[in-house]
Amino acid sequence: MPSIENYRAFVLAAELGSFSAAARQMGKAQSAVSTAIANLEIDCDVLLFDRSSRNPVLTKAGAALLANAKGILLGSQEFLARAKSMSEGVEGHLCIAIEQGISIRPLLDLLGDFSTTFAHVSLEIVTPDPADMAGILKRGRAELGLMIEQEGYPVGFQFRGVGYSRTVPVAGRDHPLARLSQVRHADLRQHRELVPQIRPTAQTGSPGNRKSPSIWYAENPMLVLDLVLQGFGWAELPHSIVADGIKTGDLVQLNYGFQQSDILHGVDAVWTEQRALGVAGQWMLNRLLELPQDVWRETGNLPAS
């Protein structure tokens, strides 16, 4: 079985153009490098270098196998780096659940820092329906979640506010409400309201804060968006999922004449007491708590004051 040092000698000799240069790079005698490459050729039963001239030249087989040798060296380095991280208590995998409708844009710089700080941690981001968020965290499918704030959380859950999500009223461009410069409460009551039924504790059919007596419910806000685009009614939806439609003109943001049109909902970072956050997870939580409010404003989640 070839050793890592044999692969390294082969790669360095190919890149530097001579066995002597490879030996200097490795801090070994030239004879040791020559022997390492010769042993690799024996193990592979392939001639890697043509030694007929003053400096060795890669054979066709050697040139073809060079990329594989580099891959083996890189894999070895990644293995050692990841093992070192684990020995220091850094988890190898972190899953974050981000509730549908919460924009990921305020987190892009944070994720960039994470990729540098925890280069060997595999990061997974899932975007479940709001009704599934608590279950995903409780089952351990995700270690950390971002969700629209609730009045209360199940026993065993911890939460901290980290920002805001902006909800706006919209209708399709051909909807009657889209033609009104200012929408009255009486206008809304004449048309079907499409409502994301996002909380499992909510009672479907309960009027709550609904503005129309005619209501359709759907668990997934993206499904509500599709219904709005098809003209089945109007809805109050997260700005992050309607922004593109407003920009293209497929959606029209309604201007309420009776209250502030933009509605702000707090965003909480949520985790469970049943599963302690690892080093990477705790780093992520701390950075979420440090996010400045300007980050949410600049990305369109929070209107300028």
Q: Is residue 304 part of a domain?
A: no
Structure confidence at residue 294 (pLDDT): 66
Structure confidence at residue 297 (pLDDT): 58
Q: What is the pTM of this model?
A: 0.58
Q: Is residue 202 part of a domain?
A: yes
Return the higher-pLDDT residue of 152 and 56: 56
Both 169 and 251 in one domain: the answer is: yes
Range 247-262 average pLDDT: 90
Structure confidence at residue 87 (pLDDT): 60
Q: What CATH number does the domain containing 168 carry? A: 3.40.190.290
Structure confidence at residue 2 (pLDDT): 79
Return the higher-pLDDT residue of 197 and 179: 179
pLDDT, tens digit (0-9, with 9 covering 90-100), for 10-34: 999 998 888 999 899 889 998 998 9
Pairing status of strand 49-50 against strand 57-58: antiparallel
Full residue range of the structural domain in which residue 220 is found: 164-264
Last residue of a domain, one of 87, 103, 124: 87
60: pLDDT strictly greater than 60: yes
Structure confidence at residue 175 (pLDDT): 96
Give the model's confidence band at 216: pLDDT under 50 very low, under 70 low, under 90 confident, else very high: very high
Range 264-275 average pLDDT: 85
Structure confidence at residue 261 (pLDDT): 76
Both 277 and 148 in one domain: the answer is: yes
Give the model's confidence band at 244: pLDDT under 50 very low, under 70 low, under 90 confident, else very high: very high
Both 220 and 202 in one domain: the answer is: yes
pLDDT, tens digit (0-9, with 9 covering 90-100), for 86-118: 565 668 889 999 998 788 888 999 999 999 999
Both 283 and 236 in one domain: the answer is: no
Into how many domains does the chain fold?
3
Q: Average pLDDT, whole number, for the chain?
A: 85
